[in-house]
């Protein structure tokens, strides 16, 4: 009985140590920021409410896929919003056409001061990020 257990353990260890080799040459994608062309936000917020914010963004080609939003809290009521995409690098037949799509995220209002949203719109000629800023006041109860 003990000999069978040792043989089984040795077999399992041999499989684990040997494993499967797929000749992985590295990642076949990378993340990229997608340009936002329009954002739909309410004219004002009510404290402790949740709002749907819709965003139109541009995919530069058919090998770029939308993944979600990166919403960063820059200060108490300032949020930077970037649409994130993945670019497949293992496809050779990408069509280079601008594709506009819409996605949304939910935003909960937890402060009674106006919120400033900075939506990423791309880089300028110097390679610096540019933003579309929208200020949304919060109604006083």
Each residue's pLDDT tens digit, 14-48: 554 555 555 556 778 899 999 999 999 999 999 99
Each residue's pLDDT tens digit, 99-135: 999 999 999 999 999 999 999 999 999 999 999 999 9
CATH of the domain at 108: 2.60.40
Q: How many structural domains are present in the chain?
A: 1
Gap between the Cα atoms of 87 and 89, Å rounded? 6
Domain that holds residue 39: 29-139
41 within domain boundaries: yes
Average pLDDT over residues 59-78: 96
DSSP code at position 48? T
Report the predicted TM-score, pTM, of the whole model to 2 decimal places: 0.78
């Amino acid at each position: 009985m003990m000999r069978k257990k040792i043989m089984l353990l040795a077999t399992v260890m041999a499989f684990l140590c040997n494993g499967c080799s797929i000749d992985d040459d590295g990642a076949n994608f990378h993340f990229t920021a997608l340009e936002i062309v329009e954002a739909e936000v309410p004219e004002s917020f009510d404290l402790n409410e949740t709002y749907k914010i819709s965003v139109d963004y541009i995919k530069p080609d058919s090998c770029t896929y939308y993944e979600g939003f990166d919403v960063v809290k820059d200060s108490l009521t300032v949020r930077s919003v970037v649409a994130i995409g993945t670019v497949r690098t293992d496809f050779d037949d990408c069509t280079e056409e601008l594709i506009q799509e819409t996605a949304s995220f939910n935003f909960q209002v937890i402060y009674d001061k106006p919120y400033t949203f900075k939506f990423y719109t791309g880089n300028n000629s110097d390679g610096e990020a540019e933003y579309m800023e929208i200020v949304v006041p919060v109604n006083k109860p």
